[in-house]
Amino acid sequence: MIEGINISIIVPVWRGAVKFLPKLLDSVPANDDIEIIVVDNSKEPIARSDINSQRSFSLLYVTPERHAGGSRNEGIKAAQGKWIIFADADDYFTPDAFDIFYSHIDSDSDIIFTKPEGIYEDTGERSDRADQYIKLVHGFCTGEVSEEDLRLGFGTPWCKMIRRDLVVREKLRFDEIRASNDIYFSLTSGYYANKIEADDRTTYIVTVNRGSLTQHRDYEVIRARLEGKLHCNKFLKAHNLGYRQRSVMFALAEARNFGFSAFLRMAWMIIRAGQNPFVGWRNWMKTARVTEIKDKVDNKYIVR
């Protein structure tokens, strides 16, 4: 750790998201104790000149097959700050985010959770993409959500200050898969944190746009999401938390859209992992219905 660096901000990026990156970079104050590490995983690597921002940052590279998870892992290796904050290239921080972060800079917690807000990038209208995380943080702060729910249920790396010593101590890493690369890191960091706290203020704006991976519904994305869930479920079972396993039924249902052979390949993934396919079956219909409604609302942003 370099003396004087308090915050390392790690940002994975690919060429399609470069146009959004300046807004994120410019939302970070130019303080000497903040370092920004941008890690590109594009097939055609981006140059510093492609990023239209005067903000100082480091630019690193990983091969495309390592995906955003590989970018984040490379960023972790380079980070020198006391705290690590992850951000996506198409999101940005609120104007008072770093005042909030600095108010916790001397905390003895391993993770400080804060609240996000969701918007549609093209219209600026509010999106419900962040609502589940808003409810978790607010609920924890008001005593309505348990510590376990916050630790293990906040499935993204953003909106958290994560002590770098925790990441180093537990050798925490992201899955290097096309989608859902962050859920295992989020689960394990929450599990291994010695102490957590939460701040019921908003620090981060998460956007919905057509280029976002969260809006992709192609087979490779569906397969990667299943792989990420299976990795999490294996960890949960190994740590006597089997009751928190994530349902894999929806992935099987989505696989049918790509033909019988795709369905069989995903079914074999589940069998090979020793996963009970009926885990979470009580919530499957509810999840399917909520997803159907949300996809109708976000239809123009979805890439199939």
Distance between CA atoms of residues 48 and 59, nearest Å: 7
Mean predicted lDDT score pLDDT of the chain: 91
Domain ranges of the chain: 7-214, 216-301
pLDDT of 302 = 47
pLDDT at residue 149 above 90?
Answer: yes
Report CA-CA distances (Å) from 157 to 189, 210, 220, 253: 9, 21, 22, 27
Asked whether residue 119 carries a pLDDT value surpassing 80, the answer given is: yes
pTM flag (> 0.85): yes
pLDDT of 174-229, one tens digit each? 999 999 999 999 999 999 999 999 999 999 999 987 555 454 568 898 899 999 99
Percent of the chain with pLDDT over 70: 88
Residue 121's pLDDT band (boundaries 50, 70, 90)?
confident
Q: Which CATH fold would you assign to the domain 7-214?
A: Spore Coat Polysaccharide Biosynthesis Protein SpsA; Chain A (3.90.550)
The total of other beta-carbon atoms located within 10 Å of residue 101's CB is 21
Residue 161 pairs with which residues in a beta bridge? Answer: 112
Tens digits of per-residue pLDDT, 49-91?
999 898 999 999 999 999 999 999 999 999 999 999 999 999 9
